[in-house]
Amino acid sequence: GARYKVDREKLRKKVEEFLTGRGLDDVEVSIAIVGGRKMRQLNRTYRKIDAATDVLSFPLEEPRDKEGVLRLGDIVICYSKAREEAAEEEKFVDDKVSDLIEHGLRHLLGEHHD
């Protein structure tokens, strides 16, 4: 929700640039920023991991809808983790969240890191 201070406009631009850079338009992706408790719950439910991670991505099964919009899926960012990692990496929280969004997008596009 709005209680996590992130520059939404900046993050939206980041997503747009990332996708257009890969020749993708008419793409929809949902980004949620949640707290540690919620993130832990999602990890428990979907990955059987009892911990909060910094980012999770959920690809959609039906990628294109009738209008031809490519719905990539959902990216969930844990704000407290992002803040922790930003401090460790001496980054602004927005920049860390931005990195995590890119990580999530790569996953949704099937670009897995090794």
**26-65 confidence digits (pLDDT tens):** 888 999 999 999 999 999 999 999 999 999 999 887 667 7
Q: Is 94 exposed, middle or buried (0-12, 13-18, 19+ CB in 10 A)?
A: middle
Percent of the chain with pLDDT over 90: 68
Amino acid residing at 60: L
Reduced to 3 states (helix: H, G, I; strand: E, B; else coil), residue 60 is: coil
pLDDT band at 96 (very low <50, low <70, confident <90, very high): very high
Q: How far apart (Å, rounded) are the C-alpha atoms in residues 56 and 92?
A: 20
Burial 23-56 (b: 16+ CB within 10 A, else e): eeeebebebbbbbeeebbebbeeeeeeeebbbbb
How confident is the model at residue 27, as a pLDDT?
Answer: 85
Query: Averaged over 13-30, what is the pLDDT?
Result: 90
